[in-house]
Amino acid sequence: MNAITHAVQKIEGGQAALARELNISPQAVSQWVKGHRPVPARLALRIEELTGITRFELRPDVFGPTPTVSHASSAEAAA
């Protein structure tokens, strides 16, 4: 399952509801789900806010891979 499909499943009302939240057409969301078009980077942050599916998952070509936090970094930040 791709990231946008997962995001759509997290929204009650599916593709139409996500389209309403983003103020776009349901057809646009359908094209993303079918893989005909990528999720626009400008909408990835809003989708992340709505669903918890990260911008890194939605558009790794734009935002890069999902960042990882090493244990050393966490320990240093806490100190």
pLDDT value of position 42 = 96
pLDDT value of position 36 = 97
pLDDT value of position 30 = 97
pLDDT value of position 55 = 97
> Where exactly are the structural domains of the chain?
3-78
Nearest to 59 by CA among 72, 43, 73: 43
Give the distance, in angstroms, between the CA of residue 62 and the centroid of all CA atoms in the same chain. Answer: 12
Low-confidence ranges of the chain (pLDDT < 50): none
Q: Is 17 helix (H, G, I), strand (E, B) or coil?
A: helix
Q: Is 24 exposed, middle or buried (0-12, 13-18, 19+ CB in 10 A)?
A: middle
Whole-prediction pTM: 0.81
pLDDT value of position 70 = 72
CATH classification code of 3-78: 1.10.260.40
